[in-house]
Structure 1
Amino acid sequence: MSVKTLRKIPLESFVDLKVDYVFKQFFGTEQNKNITVVFLNAILKRTGRNTIKEISFMRQEFGSEHVDDKQSRLDILVKTQDDLFINVEIQLTNKYDMMKRTLYYWSRIYTSQLRKGMGYYKLRPTITINICNFSLFEQTNNYHSLFQLYDFDEKFKMDDVLEIHFIEINKFIKQWYAKQLNSWENVLARWLMLLAMVDGRKGKVYEEIYLELEELAMKDEELLNAFNVWQDLSQSPEDYYAYQSRLKYILDEAAKLEDTKYIAEQEGLLKGIERGMEQGIQQGIQQGIQQGIEQGIEQGIEQGIKQGENKMQKEIVLKLLKRNTDVETIAELTGLTVTEIEQLKELLD
């Protein structure tokens, strides 16, 4: 088969595998189990006796589960080569409350195993894989982050019971274009190229990624099989219609969230202005009162001083008059007029 004949449909017809409906059709069906096994081994870096050999899809639902969470989660029970059973949950997550939601569903799956009379030692390890269509961790440029239970200081692992993976597709695409990835040697990079090639939310197809995928698929039988399944899904009228409907719903919900966020921000801004005006008015009144009090005190002091000076002046004039000092001399000494002194002289009569 030549590379030119590998693609059977136009590039713009490929569905976005990150849309939950398509993701489940691609990775969550019996006929595509082999694809899912290879994909999981690539993410979890399972080799040798740890390699996953069998999987079964769990249909458990939790009573308080959100409708959209049901759509975007895929629960799998895997069995390794050394017959170890592990619960694996794959989530296509949005950025809203993601950390707490991830831990919540991890705990629900882990504790759902426990039955009456069952020993805790029988609880299987539980792994959550989050595939994020956005950048999440500012602390790292890595597109694949792994979290487990470790001692804070010595960094030794407490147990294998918890394992949470985050795949950041935006970072993966940036690293791919920066030529920081070797997809010929990195198995996970090949499979993430399948997820990254189409971005239905932005209406974008990365043609450069597709061209490398074609080359890889010609030498990787498992990837070629996945590529053909992807094309078949994209060509199915029923699946394509369901995909478009689900994508429209996702875009509408994202728009509603943005509108709600914008309205909340505007309301918060208006409330802030109103509070500021109220505080400004109150502050202005308080400042006015304070200034009035201060001015009153100042005026009172001034008036008191003047009144005190006038009283003292009168007393001086009266004493001088008692000594028979002439009126003109008293006027020169005190600054009062002859008339004012004559009026005070009458008080002595």
Structure 2
Amino acid sequence: MELTVSDFGSRAESGIIRLTRINGAGVGGLAEIRGINRTNDYAFKRIFGSEEGKEALLSFLNAVLKLPSGRELTGVELLDREIDPRYLLDRGARLDVLARTKEGTLINIEVQVTNQYNIDKRTMYYWAGLYHGQLTSGQKFADLRKTVTINILAFDWFRGDGRYHRAFHVRDDESGELLCDDLEIHFLELEKIKTIKRRPKDALEAWMMYLSNLEGEEMEAIAMENPGIRKALTIEKAFWQSKKERRLYELREKAMRDEISALAGARAEGEAKGKVTMAQEAICKYLDARFGEASRDLQERVRQIDRLEALDKIINRIYTAGSLEEAGSVIDDAVK
């Protein structure tokens, strides 16, 4: 068995939202809203994870799940609605939206801003936790209900094409036969929407444009046609006018910026270490080719040097060494 893909469409853009003009007649008298980052998971949870935001949530879910006509979601129960402010500065805290349908299906929505190169395993880990967590002592496997995960990614994860929506299920490799409908995982990649220069073709594109960096008259036109997005913008306005909410939002923004900075630093360090390793290997290969087994001790010394500047000096001079002793002197001079 393997996970196979049902696919849908093409492209997106994430980041800071600046809604420069929404006229009063069009979307409920919304004034100018600037600087709201809709991929801020605190703001996302406040908009979609509140009783007031159920209309927006249902609209978004129906756009993503694409259920057959007549089977669209008409109501959900929100779970885990409370947010402990102490967690807002915790870069590792998950501020997701968890809901249960009338049929008992669990739906989890999470926004991921930074690429930690583990979204596949992270997704499976949290999906598994939600699935097995349904059973309490004495319950049967038959009591398990379908569990759906929706990941909104502010970065590219899948390569090779421009599809912005992927849906995974458990199917047979040859026939495509569904083993069990209990697992359903969606990925929405916001970066893949950015090249779209037209009106959204469906509700999913409209929602992804909302979550991306869309502004001005384009956002206004989309909101006029989508009551769910119109509701989200109304909640957004009230959210932005609350000093308390803005303060908590900024705390979460700080945590997100810190996470991005930490990841950037780790990547830079990793790149530097990679260059050091490459330089060490280049020198050792030369020593082995030039002096053979007798250079083993020198090679070990080279592998202990972690300064790229010193390794560069060795690379530039090692070819002038006519003997093992001279090669040792080149290394000694470089590390002084």
TM-score by length of 2: 0.71
Match of 1:85 among 104, 110, 119: 104
Matching residue of 1:2: 25
How far is the alpha carbon of 1:155 from its aligned partner? Answer: 1.4
Q: SS in structure 1 opposite 2:106?
A: strand
Q: Find out whether 1:221 has 2:227 as its counterpart.
A: yes
1:6–1:214 contact (8 Å) kept in structure 2: no
Measured in 2, the distance between the counterparts of 1:195 and 1:5 equals 20
In the other structure, the counterpart of 1:317 is none
Residue 50 of structure 2: aligned partner:
29
C-alpha contact 1:146 1:166 (8 A) present in aligned 2: yes
Unaligned runs of 5+ in 1: 62-66, 198-205, 290-349
Q: Distance in 2 between matches of 1:111 and 1:167?
A: 25
Residues 269 and 117 of structure 1: is their aligned pair in 2 closer, same or farther, counting only changes over 3 Å?
same
Assess, with a 3 A threshold, how the Cα gap between structure 1 residues 222 and 5 changes in structure 2: closer, same or farther. closer
Counterpart for residue 16 of structure 2: none
Tell me the distance in 1 between the aligned counterparts of 2:27 and 2:183. Answer: 45
C-alpha contact (below 8 Å) 1:128/1:163 kept by paired residues: yes
Identify the match of residue 264 of structure 1 among 270, 278, 287. 270
DSSP-derived class of the 1:139 partner = coil
Q: Which residue of 2 aligns with 1:308?
A: none
Letter in 2 for 1:196: S
- The yes-or-no answer on 1:191 pairing with 2:207 is yes
Say yes or no: does 1:243 pair with 2:264.
Answer: no
Aligned to 2:189: 168
TM-score by length of 1: 0.68
Contact 2:91 2:258 in 1 (8 A): no
Instruction: Find the aligned partners of 1:70 and 1:173 in 2 and give their Cα distance.
Output: 28
Larger CA Rg, structure 1 vs 2: 1
Code of the residue aligned with 1:191 in structure 2: it is: W
* Pairs within 5 Å for 1:1-349: 1-3=24-26, 6-10=29-33, 13-59=34-80, 68=91, 70-79=93-102, 84-93=103-112, 94-96=114-116, 97-174=118-195, 176-177=196-197, 179=198, 182-183=199-200, 186-197=202-213, 206-207=214-215, 210-286=216-292
Counterpart-to-counterpart distance in 2, 1:27 and 1:60: 10
User: Aligned partners of 2:273 and 2:35: how far apart in 1?
Assistant: 41
Higher helix share: 1
Q: Distance in 1 between matches of 2:170 and 2:27?
A: 48
Contact preservation (8 Å) 2:28, 2:234? no
Shift of 1:167: 0.4
1:166 Cα deviation (Å)?
0.5
* Counterpart Cα distance in 2 of 1:246 and 1:4: 28
Shift of 1:238: 1.9
Secondary structure, aligned partner of 1:53: coil
The aligned amino acid for 1:165 is H
| Aligned partners of 1:149 and 1:159 also within 8 Å | yes
SS at structure 1 position matched to 2:39: coil
CA distance in 2, matches of 1:87, 1:188: 20
More divergent stretch after superposition (35-44 vs 162-171): 35-44
Residue 203 of structure 2 aligns with an amino acid whose one-letter code is V
Q: Is the 8 A contact 1:125 1:161 kept in 2?
A: yes
Name the SS of the counterpart of 1:85 in structure 2: coil
* Residues 1:60 and 1:111: Cα distance change in structure 2 (over 3 Å): farther
**AA partner of residue 95 (structure 1):** N
Q: Distance in 2 between matches of 1:222 and 1:74?
A: 17
Residue 131 of structure 1: CA displacement? 0.2
The 1-side partners of 2:38 and 2:242 are apart by: 14
Looking at structure 2, the residues matched to 91 and 4 of structure 1 have their Cα atoms a distance apart, in angstroms, of 27
Tell me, in whole angstroms, the C-alpha distance in 2 between the residues paired with 1:219 and 1:286: 75
Output the CA distance in 2 between the equivalents of 1:71 and 1:39. Answer: 20
Q: Separation in 1 of the partners of 2:203 and 2:93?
A: 29
| 1:15–1:240 Cα contact (<8 Å) kept | no
Counterpart residue type for residue 108 of structure 2: E
Give the % identical residues. Answer: 26
What's the RMSD between the two structures over aligned residues? 2.6
**TM-superposition CA deviations, 1:49-99 (whole Å, max 9, x none):** 5322222222399xxxxx6454342222122xxxx2101111112322100
Query: Partners of 1:212 and 1:37 in 2: how far apart?
Result: 22
Give aligned pairs, total.
263
How far did residue 283 of structure 1 move?
A: 3.4
3-state SS in 2 of match to 1:89: strand
The 1-side partners of 2:221 and 2:230 are apart by 10
CA–CA distance in 1 between the matches of 2:81 and 2:252?
22
What do the CA deviations read for 1:304-333 (whole angstroms, capped 9, x no partner)?
A: xxxxxxxxxxxxxxxxxxxxxxxxxxxxxx
